[in-house]
């Protein structure tokens, strides 16, 4: 029996369907918490409402006696029922072996302990994203686990980096290659074996001799690698910005590729994620006019709350949260004679819109560049909601540092950024680059190494 905590249903409103043949139990206290959080325009409220609708749909017209016993979970019209869903009533505890019930978490744990006493032959497992609640439950004798369904990796080090580095020469490892020239592009057809078998579409190969290749096509037994010239990559200028290392040049290659519709950039603070994305977006809207506008948003605690009723436009209220965008605009024009005038000119010239995540649901952005900053703080469900807003001819750029997660109940493994990077690694129109740290100053470099 899997007993779900409130934060699991908020994290993934469809979690009810992910326990296969097992029994899923929702404590009455969880329903009460969902009810108290369902009002408002916050992302949490929308997830609560979705979870409540899912529970109602699965229970259908079942009578109270069946709901207490367990209603079979039907996942499709022609699919056979698998597992059951039931509502667990809170029970009174008159013995000394119970936690004080002034907290909802304690009520749930006490109810589970009573359930465990009634079903000694069954495994009763609490599923919660709250580490402290799991510790309390274990200390009280109730088994507890994290919600693992959207964790595609067991170790964050297994996350694709977007490139494979070879010592010395890449060609030392290749026994046979067929090289073709097509429209000024050099492509190598290689057998997909050894380290090459692990490469995905739109991933790169880099060696110490200066060779850079990009996987542009692959099959079960071979892959096609485009030969990129490192000199050209390193001297690619985008809105006055030149990459400082090979990893930034690979990121720019993906950002400027019109056939790539999703780009994930990860890396530590100062690795250049935001400034690269912003420079590329301005270039593609102002210079090449491939896109009509830039939509910038981010996830942070407090931003999901209502932006208020005081005077000011949505852009003016969002500006403090998106200060990183303005900071990087200033950095791109710091050598101009009048930096302030240049930034004001760009903001007036470039159709750059700051959007609150509250008002993105239900919209569709056509021919737009959508920058999602701090996307490591999004759940898989939330990031899916935003990415599906991309309409015809749009491109989504997710930026984040998996070492700086500020959202409760999220870890690097359960972050939406990790989920999308792993899930989209074989997507023909998607790419990911993990940027290496490029120190912003001597002070920053010392702090990274010694603090």
pLDDT per position as a tens digit, 207-255: 999 999 999 999 989 999 999 989 999 999 998 889 999 999 999 999 9
Residue 381 has pLDDT above 60, yes or no: yes
The CATH number assigned to the domain holding 301 equals 3.40.50.300
Residues in the chain: 451
Confidence of residue 257 (pLDDT cuts 50, 70, 90): very high
Instruction: Please give the span between the terminal C-alpha atoms of the chain, in angstroms, as a whole number.
Output: 45
Residues 261 and 398 in one domain: yes
Please, which residues have CB within 8 angstroms of residue 213's CB and are 6 or more apart in sequence?
A: 170, 188, 204, 205, 225, 226, 227, 228
Looking at the fold, whether 118 and 253 belong to one and the same domain comes out as no
What is the three-class DSSP state of 194?
A: helix
333 CB neighbour count, 10 Å cutoff: 19
Q: Are residues 122 and 260 in the same domain?
A: no
Position 166 in a domain: no
How many CB atoms neighbour CB 361 within 10 A? 14
Is the domain of 124 the same as that of 247?
Answer: no
Calculate mean pLDDT across residues 41-50: 84
How many percent of the chain have pLDDT more than 90?
A: 51
For helices 323-332 and 339-349, give the axis angle rounded to 10 degrees: 120
Rounded to 10°, the helix 380-387/43-59 angle is 100
Domain boundary among 146, 173, 203: 146
Please report whether residue 185 resides in a domain. Answer: no
Find the CATH number of the domain harbouring 91: 3.40.50.1010
- Asked whether 6 and 33 are in contact (CB, 8 A), the reply is yes
- Does residue 252 sit in the same domain as residue 127? no
In a domain, 182, yes or no: no
142 near 112, Cβ under 8 Å?
A: yes
Using pLDDT thresholds of 50, 70 and 90, give the confidence band for residue 303: very low
Q: Are residues 132 and 272 in the same domain?
A: no
Which letter, b or e, does each residue of 94-106 get, where b requires 16 or more Cβ atoms within 10 Å of its Cβ? Answer: eeeebbebeebbb
Residue bearing the bigger pLDDT, 172 or 93: 172
Strands annotated E in 293-438 = 293-298, 352-354, 368-373, 395-400, 430-435
Q: How confident is the model at residue 202 (pLDDT cuts 50, 70, 90)?
A: very high
260/384 same-domain check: yes
Q: Is residue 234 part of a domain?
A: no
Q: Where is the domain boundary, 99, 128, 146?
A: 146
Report the pLDDT value the prediction gives residue 312, as an integer from 0 to 100: 61
Q: Which domain holds residue 54?
A: 2-146
Q: Structural domain tally of the chain?
A: 2
In the listed set 113, 130, 146, which residue is the last one of a domain according to the structure? 146
Co-location of 141 and 248 in the same domain:
no
Contact 433, 399 (CB under 8 A): no
Can you tell me whether residue 42 is helix, strand or coil?
coil
Domain identity same for 251 and 107: no
Q: How many Å apart are CA 57 and CA 355, to the nearest integer? A: 33
The single-letter DSSP state of residue 22 is: S
Which is nearest to 421 in space by CA: 411, 433, 409?
A: 433
Q: Report if residue 159 sits inside a domain.
A: no
| 103 & 252 share domain | no
Strand bridging mode 84-88 / 71-72: antiparallel
Measure Cα distances from 206 to 14, 16, 270, 272, 337 in Å: 41, 44, 22, 19, 39
Do residues 131 and 11 share a domain? yes
Whether residue 139 is found in the same domain as residue 257: no
User: 55-66 pLDDT, tens per residue?
Assistant: 999 999 999 999
pLDDT band at 317 (very low <50, low <70, confident <90, very high): low
pLDDT of residue 311: 58
231 domain residue, yes or no = no
Give the phi and the psi of residue 284 in degrees, each rounded to 5.
-80, -15
For residue 302, pLDDT beyond 80? no
Average the pLDDT over each of 68-72, 110-114, 161-165, 299-303 and give the range with the smallest value: 299-303
Distance CA 8, CA 133 (A): 12
Asked if residue 179 belongs to a domain, the reply is: no
pTM: 0.81
Distance CA 38, CA 446 (A): 46
Q: pLDDT tens-digit profile of 119-147?
A: 888 999 999 999 999 999 999 989 999 99
Domain contains 154: no
């Amino acid at each position: 029996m899997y007993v779900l905590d409130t934060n699991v249903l908020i994290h993934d409103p469809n979690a009810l369907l992910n326990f296969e043949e097992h029994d899923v139990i929702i404590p009455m206290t969880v329903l009460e918490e969902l009810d108290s959080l369902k009002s408002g325009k916050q992302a949490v409220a929308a997830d609560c409402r979705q979870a409540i609708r899912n529970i109602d749909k699965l229970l259908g017209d079942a009578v109270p006696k069946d709901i207490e016993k367990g209603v079979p979970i039907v996942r499709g019209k022609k699919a056979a029922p698998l597992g059951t869903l039931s509502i667990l009533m809170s029970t009174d505890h008159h013995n000394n072996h119970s936690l004080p019930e002034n907290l909802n978490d304690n009520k749930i744990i006490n109810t589970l302990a009573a359930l465990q006493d009634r079903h000694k032959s069954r495994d009763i497992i609490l599923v919660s994203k709250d580490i402290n609640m799991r510790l309390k439950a274990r200390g009280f004798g109730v088994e507890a686990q994290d919600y693992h369904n959207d964790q595609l990796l067991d170790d964050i080090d297994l996350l694709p980096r977007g490139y494979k580095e070879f010592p010395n020469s890449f060609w030392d490892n290749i026994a046979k290659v067929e090289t073709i020239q097509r429209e000024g592009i050099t492509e190598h057809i290689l057998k997909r074996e050894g380290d090459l078998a692990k490469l995905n579409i739109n991933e790169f190969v880099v060696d110490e001799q200066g060779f850079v290749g990009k996987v542009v096509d692959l099959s079960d037994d071979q892959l096609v690698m485009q030969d990129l010239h490192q000199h050209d990559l390193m001297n690619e200028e985008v809105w006055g910005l030149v990459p400082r290392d090979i990893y930034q040049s690979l990121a720019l290659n993906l950002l400027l590729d019109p056939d790539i519709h999703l780009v994930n950039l990860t890396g530590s603070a100062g690795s250049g994620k935001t400034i690269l994305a912003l420079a590329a977006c301005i270039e593609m809207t102002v210079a090449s006019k491939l896109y009509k506008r830039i939509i910038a948003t981010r996830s942070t605690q407090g931003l999901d709350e209502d932006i208020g009723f005081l005077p000011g436009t949505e852009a003016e209220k969002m500006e403090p949260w998106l200060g990183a965008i303005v900071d990087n605009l200033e950095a791109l024009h710091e050598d101009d004679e009048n930096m302030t005038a240049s930034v004001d000119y760009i903001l007036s010239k470039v159709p750059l819109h700051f959007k609150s995540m509250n008002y993105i649901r239900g919209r569709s952005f056509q021919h737009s560049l959508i920058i999602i900053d701090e996307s490591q703080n999004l759940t898989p469900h939330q990031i899916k909601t935003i990415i599906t807003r991309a309409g015809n001819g749009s491109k989504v750029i997710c930026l984040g540092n998996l070492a700086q997660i500020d959202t409760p109940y999220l870890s690097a493994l359960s972050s939406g950024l990790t989920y999308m990077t792993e899930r989209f690694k074989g997507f023909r129109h998607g790419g990911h680059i993990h940027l290496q740290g490029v120190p912003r100053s001597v002070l920053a470099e010392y702090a990274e190494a010694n603090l």
